[in-house]
């Protein structure tokens, strides 16, 4: 596979309780495409994934979320996981980084409960998102439009409703990020 994302630095924001597959599948595809991928978290050292109906593996944290800027990264991935999203929603640095990406029009890919972090930034006016029903109210309160679709791509924002949409989500994520990277290189 061509390294279409060589030179890109991509942030994945997560905390213990993240949905393991929603992190590992995009991460694997991004690394294979040549991207530099950094995990950001308020957790120290390691974060524990959630797999199925119980705790999964531990994953290393590359950077503390309070010590980075959105400007340090080209693209953003927000995996789901109810426990992870609950912790991240309370962290002001999550809102700051997600807000930066939304304001700058930089590519964001969010899946399942991770979509709730987009609503936390309160910058969804006029945007259409696929999301689980449980996130619908927060999207609409933040000015966005909820769609009961597996995957929605609107501009630089890719959202996927749930784990069942993961294969299409990863395919669309690679396409969106590669197109954005090519545009940036051409500029």
pLDDT of residue 181: 85
The boundaries of the domain holding residue 159 are 9-186
Residue 3 located in a structural domain: no
How confident is the model over 123-157, as pLDDT tens digits?
Answer: 999 999 999 999 999 999 999 999 999 999 999 99
The strand pair at 157-160 and 108-111 is best described as parallel
CATH number at residue 32: 3.40.50.880
pTM above 0.85, yes or no: yes
* Residue 148 is assigned to a structural domain of this protein: yes
Does residue 44 lie in a domain region? yes
Query: What is the total count of domains within the chain?
Result: 1
**Percent of the chain scoring above 70 in pLDDT:** 99
Residue 124 lies in a domain: yes
Q: For 109-128, what is the mean pLDDT?
A: 94
> pLDDT at position 16, please?
97
Residue 75 lies in a domain: yes
Task: Note whether residue 2 is domain-resident.
Answer: no
């Amino acid at each position: 596979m061509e390294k279409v994302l060589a030179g890109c630095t991509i942030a994945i924001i997560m905390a213990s309780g993240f949905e393991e597959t929603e992190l590992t599948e995009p991460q694997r595809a991004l690394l294979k495409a040549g991207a530099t991928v950094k995990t950001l978290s308020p957790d120290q050292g390691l974060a524990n994934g959630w797999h199925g109906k119980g705790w999964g593996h531990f994953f290393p944290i590359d950077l503390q979320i309070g010590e980075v800027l959105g400007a340090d990264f080209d693209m953003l991935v927000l995996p789901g996981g109810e426990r992870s999203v609950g912790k991240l929603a309370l962290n002001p640095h999550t809102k700051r980084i997600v807000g930066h990406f939304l304001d700058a029009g930089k590519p964001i890919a969010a899946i399942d409960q991770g979509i709730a972090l987009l609503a936390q930034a309160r910058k969804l006016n006029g945007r259409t998102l696929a999301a689980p029903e449980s996130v619908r109210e927060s999207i609409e309160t933040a000015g966005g439009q909820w769609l009961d679709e597996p995957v929605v791509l609107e501009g630089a924002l890719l959202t996927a409703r749930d784990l069942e949409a993961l294969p299409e989500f990863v395919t669309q994520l690679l396409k969106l990020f590669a197109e954005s990277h090519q545009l940036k290189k051409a500029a």
